[in-house]
Amino acid sequence: MNEHKPEILAPAGDKQSFLAAIAAGADAVYAGLKHFSARMEAYNFSTGELAALAQLGRKNGVKTYIPMNTLVKPDDMDSAARLIDRVARTVKPDALIIQDIAMIEIAHQAGFEGELHLSTLANVSHPKALKTAAELGINRVVVPRELNLDEIKEMAAACPENMSLEMFVHGALCYSVSGRCYWSSFFGGKSSLRGRCVQPCRRLYGGAKRKEQPKRLFSCLDLSLDVLTKPTLSIPEVTSWKIEGRKKGPHYVYYTVTAYRMLRDNPNDAQKRKNAMELLELALGRPSSHSVFLPQRPFTPLDPSNETGSGFLIGITKQEKNGKPYFNCRQELLNGDFLRIGYQDQPGHQMLKIRKSVPKRGRVSIPVKSKTRLKSGTKVFLIDRREEGLVQALKKLESKLSKIKVADKTSSSLQVKLPQYVYQHTERVARHTLQRNPPKGKTKFGTNIWLSLNALKRTPRPAVSKIWWHLPPVIWPDEEAEVQKTIDICLSGGGRNFVLNAPWQKSLFPKDDRLRFHAGPFCNVSNPLAVAELEDMGFSSAYVSPELAREDFLALPSASPLPLGVVLTGMWPLGISRIIADEANLMSPMYSQKKEICWVRQYGQNYWVYPGWPLDFSEERKVLENAGYAMFLDIQEPWPKDVPEPVRTSNFNWDLALL
């Protein structure tokens, strides 16, 4: 086995975690700024703070990557360019991690000379997609966490020269596929694609029957590949092992980095492997699993009967005679330890800092911070701690950091230059209906159908050329050959219009001037520069992201080089997943404790989670037409007989400010 050493890429959500990554021997650290980060709930950094830390990192042989991996709204482009300009001059990061293809051009205009890494949020999920990403100038792709080892090998085999792959080895798992989750946004305007997810998937959900106990049907265990990382040492294209956790503390960062460094450097040393496993047990994460990584032994990383909060279970609350809560700790608590009392959706949930050491089985009183009573039996978790050795290591690095001087403030007046074109609204306004099978009767131009072999069989050959064929939002490596076969059959039958739901899907088609490509709504288009990139790629039109707010919708057409469309009505998914809990019943209603309803339908390998009410922008159609939108899409989805008929509709974030 020709082993190579992938870098250990550590998360840092604050200064102490960044220093812990250096102390533990990380090769690179990814750390977000106050804006354009997909983990906006982390502390994150100012440019001055990160500039000093990055300089300290360089002195210790540690690279710095900056995630700027959110969707870019129309009014974000200039501020993103100015931030990258300042970052390039002060922080001098080795790479930017991006999601929105507009960031490629913005980075170039800002003079950024480092690498561009494509976030897992961009959903590059099948081998041929890598070619298109490379053509756009991407140096590295972060592959989805849903891939197993064989599929990662397939991605590696297709990896273009001068491109590398990054894979997650540890940390939190999302239920939905990255870049295909609108749950938080649809339920409350906090977009995961903008780094504001409030994790509605981790709530309790129950069926319609009152006797049915609510469970965490969509809340995932953590990922921990631990010893299973060894086979990836023989895959040279995998150049980075990524640890998730920018909202975690320095204890977690130090222990996980140390453990994976030991596993990488000593893959055949049984004692070192054992030591690494012990360190991971002490890292204070959620209960973990290998997830689907082993193709011969896939594991669904869901345990609905248990809570999946992060941290080490340290005790269970009781009540004194006067009603005040307390617990007896199962392990020694140290001065400075951080505890979490209960879960976010439980009464009395709070954080607690230990001010002095408490021996094992010692009693800890819990202050009452609200009128909400903390129930007996509430679980208490140790979520962060400061061991003496770690404290001393951080102090030494902090002393060195204090001697590094950087500019307090930097400014930039950079403005994005859009391609020069004259906007002409030449395309006729059309209303399209997207459905699973061809309509009965005569097929018209503008008929939209999800592409499948079954749909092609049901379509009369003369009608194939009239239909707009939609590709799925996610294509997995083991599906690529079947999708390619379906496309080839469609092309041979005269298919000419294809709606791609990821820009990378263009790699599945031959170069043919007769073909017309349209960017589907799952491409998450949200700004004119992204549309310009799509035009350069050969797209003829684009549907914008349905989660935009009113002002964002209305700002796009007049600055777009292509005709634009919107999803006008229909069932838009909360999320798309590759896994489902055994306890989750398909096509049945599931209610959260906030009375939100959802249901799940399976298509191929994927599970589509739908809300209990449809999207409906029909009242805004005239406004959208006047703004310049040319295409309006109605998505038809058969309604399950067991799910209550909707009594409301949603205009998503139209009336909200998308944060």
28 and 159 part of one domain:
yes
| C-alpha to C-alpha distance for 592 and 246, rounded to whole angstroms | 27
| Tens of pLDDT, residues 190-205 | 999 998 898 999 989 9
- Look up the CATH number of the domain holding residue 249: 3.20.20.110
Average pLDDT over residues 474-497: 98
Which residue has 């193709």 as its token pair? Answer: 295
Query: Does some domain include residue 645?
Result: no
| Tens of pLDDT, residues 396-449 | 999 999 999 987 678 888 999 988 765 555 566 788 999 998 887 777 777 999
349 and 398 part of one domain:
no
| pLDDT number for residue 213 | 84
Instruction: State the greatest distance between any 2 C-alpha atoms of the chain, in Å, as a whole number.
Output: 81
The CA dihedral of 223, 224, 229, 235, to the nearest 10 degrees, is 20
* C-beta of residue 285 within 8 angstroms of C-beta of residue 224: yes
150 and 258 part of one domain:
yes
The CA dihedral of 116, 122, 125, 128, to the nearest 10 degrees, is -60
149 and 14 part of one domain:
yes
| pLDDT number for residue 188 | 81
How far from 177 is each of 170, 286, 606, 609, CA to CA, in Å?
A: 16, 19, 10, 11
Which residue has 């999320």 as its token pair? Answer: 575
| C-alpha to C-alpha distance for 220 and 236, rounded to whole angstroms | 30
64 and 24 part of one domain:
yes
Res. 9 pLDDT band, cuts 50 70 90: very high
In degrees, to the nearest 5, what angle opens at C-alpha 390 toward C-alphas 387 and 396?
A: 140
Which residue has 């893959």 as its token pair? Answer: 267
Average pLDDT over residues 141-149: 97
| pLDDT number for residue 369 | 75
Res. 525: pLDDT tops 80: yes
Strand duo 288-289 + 312-316: pairing: unpaired
The CA dihedral of 29, 34, 37, 38, to the nearest 10 degrees, is 110
Closest CA relative to residue 658, chosen from 76, 60, 181, 66: 76
Q: Integer distance in angstroms from the first to the last C-alpha of the chain?
A: 48
Res. 2: pLDDT tops 60: no
SS3 (DSSP) at 244: coil
| Tens of pLDDT, residues 34-47 | 888 766 555 678 89
Query: Phi-psi bin for 340: left (phi > 0), alpha (psi -120 to 50), beta?
Result: beta
Strand duo 222-224 + 205-206: pairing: unpaired
Res. 584: pLDDT tops 70: yes
Query: Does some domain include residue 178?
Result: no
Query: Phi-psi bin for 298: left (phi > 0), alpha (psi -120 to 50), beta?
Result: beta
Number of folded domains that form the chain: 3
Tokens linked to 336: 């400075």
Higher pLDDT, 342 or 448: 448
What's the predicted TM-score (pTM) here?
Answer: 0.93
In degrees, to the nearest 5, what angle opens at C-alpha 321 toward C-alphas 316 and 322?
A: 105
Query: Does some domain include residue 197?
Result: no
Domain that holds residue 333: 312-384
| 128 alpha carbon, distance to own chain's centre | 21
Res. 308: pLDDT tops 70: no
Query: Does some domain include residue 299?
Result: no
* C-beta of residue 145 within 8 angstroms of C-beta of residue 120: yes
| pLDDT number for residue 421 | 64
* C-beta of residue 391 within 8 angstroms of C-beta of residue 370: no
Query: Does some domain include residue 411?
Result: no
| C-alpha to C-alpha distance for 34 and 622, rounded to whole angstroms | 37
| C-alpha to C-alpha distance for 167 and 239, rounded to whole angstroms | 8
517 and 369 part of one domain:
no
Average pLDDT over residues 141-163: 97
* C-beta of residue 227 within 8 angstroms of C-beta of residue 260: no
Res. 564 pLDDT band, cuts 50 70 90: very high
448 and 558 part of one domain:
yes
Of the candidate ranges 409-418, 535-544, 546-555, 634-643, the one whose mean pLDDT is the lowest? 409-418
| pLDDT number for residue 407 | 79
Query: Does some domain include residue 176?
Result: no
| pLDDT number for residue 131 | 97
SS3 (DSSP) at 616: strand
- Look up the CATH number of the domain holding residue 626: 3.20.20.70
**DSSP collapsed to 3 states, 184-218:** HHHHHCCCHHHCCCCCHHHCCEECCCCCCCCECCC
| 230 alpha carbon, distance to own chain's centre | 26
Query: Does some domain include residue 17?
Result: yes
Closest CA relative to residue 49, chosen from 63, 59, 34, 27: 34
| C-alpha to C-alpha distance for 477 and 143, rounded to whole angstroms | 11
Higher pLDDT, 456 or 370: 456
Q: Which residues, in sequence order, are CB contacts of 151 under 8 Å at separation 6+?
A: 295, 476, 477, 478
Tokens linked to 383: 């979520």
| C-alpha to C-alpha distance for 605 and 476, rounded to whole angstroms | 9
Task: Report DSSP state, residue 511.
Answer: -
53 and 144 part of one domain:
yes
| C-alpha to C-alpha distance for 256 and 412, rounded to whole angstroms | 38
* C-beta of residue 577 within 8 angstroms of C-beta of residue 586: no
| Tens of pLDDT, residues 346-369 | 778 888 999 999 999 999 999 887
Res. 208: pLDDT tops 80: no
| C-alpha to C-alpha distance for 535 and 538, rounded to whole angstroms | 5
Average pLDDT over residues 151-165: 97
| 443 alpha carbon, distance to own chain's centre | 38
| pLDDT number for residue 115 | 98
Percentage of residues of the chain with pLDDT beyond 70:
95
CA dihedral sign of residues 99, 101, 102, 106: positive
238 and 104 part of one domain:
yes
| pLDDT number for residue 601 | 97
Res. 517 pLDDT band, cuts 50 70 90: very high
380 and 456 part of one domain:
no
Q: Which residues, in sequence order, are CB contacts of 346 under 8 Å at separation 6+?
A: 375, 378
| C-alpha to C-alpha distance for 597 and 645, rounded to whole angstroms | 11
How far from 52 is each of 47, 121, 489, CA to CA, in Å?
A: 9, 28, 57
Of the candidate ranges 18-27, 113-122, 199-208, 392-401, the one whose mean pLDDT is the lowest? 199-208
| C-alpha to C-alpha distance for 475 and 283, rounded to whole angstroms | 34
| pLDDT number for residue 360 | 94
Res. 17: pLDDT tops 60: yes
- Look up the CATH number of the domain holding residue 355: 2.40.30
| Tens of pLDDT, residues 42-65 | 567 889 999 999 999 999 999 999
Average pLDDT over residues 541-547: 97
482 and 631 part of one domain:
yes
What is the per-residue DSSP string for 316-349? E-EE-TTS-EEEE-SS-B-TT-EEEES-TTSTT-
25 and 160 part of one domain:
yes
Query: Does some domain include residue 48?
Result: yes
Please return the burial class of 321, using the count of CB atoms within 10 Å of its CB with bins 0-12, 13-18 and 19+.
Answer: exposed
Q: Which of 207-221, 566-580, 583-597 has the highest mean pLDDT?
A: 566-580
Query: Phi-psi bin for 402: left (phi > 0), alpha (psi -120 to 50), beta?
Result: alpha
* C-beta of residue 561 within 8 angstroms of C-beta of residue 572: no
